[in-house]
């Protein structure tokens, strides 16, 4: 039987660790849940060595990110898989047959191999959540926990349907954000390319002409020529500096303080910050609604959400809320003390607590903020596009005027 070295967090906020012999990681999760604790990381001890099976440190983060990039399994493919799985299992098709059928139909070979492996594990006696937990680069911790909740409560078909809906709405929000940013990014990229061509190809030719004429240059033209010369002959210093800053920034973000500070500052950026925050409220409310509807306790649901929240600042706030609820506060009271959740959300949560329809109210909150994100993005896109065009036109126009300014002056002198 495998031996696990684990680290977990109790609902009162204390971290515990130990070594235990159990048949699987999911059994360890169940045992910790019964002791009012949530698993943070676990490593299976084999032949005196430790093989990591749960995301823990920087090395595992890097490995998971590498797998996500090179395994090429998109969120749309996982969404389609979940949707088809929900439809087949909800229609009464046995789980093993669902996986076998879906595995044959998948076009992505890597995803097909993973589903086939999950099918073999199911046939060997593993639970679905246990089999999926072996592929953390494909199925998130939230996904696995929700599947596990459905298995424990006997509502796997319902959970799969809710997961499918959750992924669909999340994909829709991401798609709208990407579509809104696509044109501005393309416009900025095009402008940068034009500026580089001007600075590296066109302006040096004018610089040679003006040098032969030996005529005094206006200040804007001098500045432009100096910038062009600096970039042409000292570009490697800029590259070294940029790369060094990029590495330094990456190292800072790997620290808990750096990640927490940056994630907090992101939410305060004008215009962009509120959109990010509304997107977080959408995901948070939708996830909590689904987890509560599946029968999970509030504190356990908040722990799961905190582990799957990418924003370190919001993650800490959710953990603090879970501790306050554990100590006897209501959900609305705990959220209000967090000083990050908006008044509308607090009022609807309070109403849901009083009426016993909390998961339904949270679903309405998620719908509201999803609509807010869509409306804000559409409005912002309609405003930012013409503004960017004007700004880019002014930049390129200023460069062109600075280049031809000496010619204009010489023409005026002849007259």
Three-state DSSP state, 54: coil
pTM confidence score: 0.68
Question: Kind and range of the H or E element at 382?
Answer: helix 358-414
Regarding whether 396 and 248 lie in a shared domain, the answer is yes
Quote the pLDDT of residue 260.
92
Quote the pLDDT of residue 368.
92
Regarding whether 81 and 40 lie in a shared domain, the answer is no
Do the domain assignments include residue 112?
Answer: yes
Average pLDDT for 320-340: 87
Per residue in 75-110, pLDDT (tens digit) is 888 888 999 988 998 888 888 899 988 888 888 889
Regarding whether 138 and 36 lie in a shared domain, the answer is no
CA 216 to chain centre: 54
- The residue ranking higher by pLDDT, 307 or 318, is 318
> Does residue 361 contact residue 351 with C-beta atoms inside 8 Å?
yes
Regarding whether 306 and 384 lie in a shared domain, the answer is yes
Three-state DSSP state, 303: helix
Regarding whether 325 and 208 lie in a shared domain, the answer is yes
Quote the pLDDT of residue 168.
85
Do the domain assignments include residue 228?
Answer: yes
DSSP state of 341: S
Do the domain assignments include residue 188?
Answer: yes
Regarding whether 188 and 110 lie in a shared domain, the answer is no
Find the farthest-apart pair of alpha carbons in the chain and give their distance in angstroms, rounded.
97
Quote the pLDDT of residue 248.
94
Predicted confidence (pLDDT) at residue 288 exceeds the cutoff of 50: yes
Predicted confidence (pLDDT) at residue 52 exceeds the cutoff of 50: no
> Does residue 29 contact residue 39 with C-beta atoms inside 8 Å?
yes
CA dihedral 177, 180, 186, 187 (to 10 degrees): -140
- By percentage, how much of the chain surpasses pLDDT 90? 11
Regarding whether 323 and 274 lie in a shared domain, the answer is yes
Do the domain assignments include residue 379?
Answer: yes
Mean pLDDT over all residues of the chain?
Answer: 82
Neighbours of 178 (CB within 10 A): 10
Structural domain boundaries, residue 85: 72-156
Regarding whether 133 and 262 lie in a shared domain, the answer is no
Quote the pLDDT of residue 65.
54
Of 107, 124, 156, which marks where a domain is finished?
156
Regarding whether 289 and 223 lie in a shared domain, the answer is yes
CA 263 to chain centre: 12
DSSP result, 26-49: HHHHHHHHHTTEEEEEEEEEETTE
Quote the pLDDT of residue 180.
72
Do the domain assignments include residue 346?
Answer: yes
Average pLDDT for 393-411: 84
Quote the pLDDT of residue 12.
62
Quote the pLDDT of residue 58.
47
pLDDT confidence bin for 114, thresholds 50/70/90: very high
CATH of the domain at 90: 1.20.81.30
Rounded to whole angstroms, how far apart are CA atoms 79 and 60? 25
Per residue in 8-25, pLDDT (tens digit) is 766 566 677 777 777 777
Regarding whether 166 and 147 lie in a shared domain, the answer is no
Do the domain assignments include residue 271?
Answer: yes
Do the domain assignments include residue 313?
Answer: yes
Range in 103-117, 177-191, 366-380 with the lowest mean pLDDT: 177-191
Average pLDDT for 196-209: 87
Rounded to whole angstroms, how far apart are CA atoms 283 and 79? 16
Length of the chain: 415
Phi and psi based region of residue 266 (left: phi greater than 0; alpha: psi -120 to 50; beta: remaining): alpha
> Does residue 221 contact residue 406 with C-beta atoms inside 8 Å?
yes
Regarding whether 96 and 137 lie in a shared domain, the answer is yes
Using the structure block, give the residue that is written with the tokens 């036109």. 393
Number of domains in the chain: 3
- By percentage, how much of the chain surpasses pLDDT 70? 87
pLDDT confidence bin for 53, thresholds 50/70/90: very low
pLDDT confidence bin for 41, thresholds 50/70/90: low
Neighbours of 82 (CB within 10 A): 22
Regarding whether 319 and 181 lie in a shared domain, the answer is yes
Quote the pLDDT of residue 364.
92
pLDDT confidence bin for 313, thresholds 50/70/90: very high
- Cross-strand pairs, 42: 6
Quote the pLDDT of residue 9.
66
Range in 51-60, 267-276, 282-291 with the lowest mean pLDDT: 51-60
Of 133, 156, 179, which marks where a domain is finished?
156
Of 105, 128, 156, which marks where a domain is finished?
156
Do the domain assignments include residue 64?
Answer: no
Within 8 A by CB and 6+ apart from 338, the residues are: 317, 320, 321
Average pLDDT for 171-192: 80
Predicted confidence (pLDDT) at residue 131 exceeds the cutoff of 70: yes
Rounded to whole angstroms, how far apart are CA atoms 27 and 129? 11
Quote the pLDDT of residue 375.
87
Predicted confidence (pLDDT) at residue 181 exceeds the cutoff of 70: yes
Quote the pLDDT of residue 191.
87
């Amino acid at each position: 039987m495998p031996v696990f070295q684990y680290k977990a967090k109790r609902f009162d906020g204390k971290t515990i660790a130990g070594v235990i012999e159990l048949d699987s990681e999911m059994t360890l999760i169940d045992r910790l849940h019964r002791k009012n604790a949530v698993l943070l990381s676990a490593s299976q001890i084999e032949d005196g060595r430790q093989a990591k099976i749960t995301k823990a440190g920087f090395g595992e983060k890097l490995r998971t990110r590498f797998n996500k990039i090179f395994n090429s399994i998109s969120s749309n493919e996982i969404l389609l898989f979940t949707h088809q799985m929900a439809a087949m299992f909800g229609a009464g098709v046995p789980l093993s047959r669902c996986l076998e059928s879906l595995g044959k139909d998948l076009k992505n070979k890597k995803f097909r191999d993973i589903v086939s492996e999950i099918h073999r594990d199911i046939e060997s006696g593993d639970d679905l959540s246990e089999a999926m937990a072996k592929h953390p680069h494909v199925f998130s911790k939230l996904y696995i926990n929700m599947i596990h909740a459905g298995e424990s409560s006997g509502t796997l078909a319902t959970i799969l349907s809710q997961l499918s809906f959750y992924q669909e709405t999340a994909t829709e929000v991401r798609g709208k954000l990407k579509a809104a940013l696509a044109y501005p990014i393309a416009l900025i990229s095009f402008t940068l390319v034009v500026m580089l061509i001007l600075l590296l190809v066109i302006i040096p030719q004018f610089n040679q002409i003006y040098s032969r004429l030996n005529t005094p240059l206006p200040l804007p033209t001098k500045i432009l020529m100096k910038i062009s010369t600096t970039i042409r002959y000292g570009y490697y210093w800029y590259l070294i500096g940029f790369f060094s800053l990029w590495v330094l920034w990456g190292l800072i973000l790997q620290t808990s303080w750096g990640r927490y500070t940056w994630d907090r500052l992101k939410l305060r950026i004008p215009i962009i910050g509120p959109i990010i925050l509304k997107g977080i409220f959408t995901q948070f409310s939708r996830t909590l609604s689904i987890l509560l509807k599946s029968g999970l306790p509030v504190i356990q649901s908040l722990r799961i959400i905190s582990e799957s929240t990418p924003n370190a600042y919001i993650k800490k706030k959710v953990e603090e809320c879970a501790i306050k609820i554990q100590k006897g506060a209501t959900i609305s009271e705990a959220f209000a003390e967090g000083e990050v959740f908006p008044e509308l959300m607090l009022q609807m949560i309070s109403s849901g607590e009083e009426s016993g329809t909390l998961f339904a109210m949270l679903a309405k909150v998620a719908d509201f903020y999803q609509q807010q994100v869509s409306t804000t993005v559409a409005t912002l896109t309609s405003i930012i596009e013409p503004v960017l065009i004007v700004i880019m036109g002014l930049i390129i126009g200023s460069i062109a005027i600075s280049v031809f300014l000496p010619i204009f002056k010489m023409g005026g002198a002849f007259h």
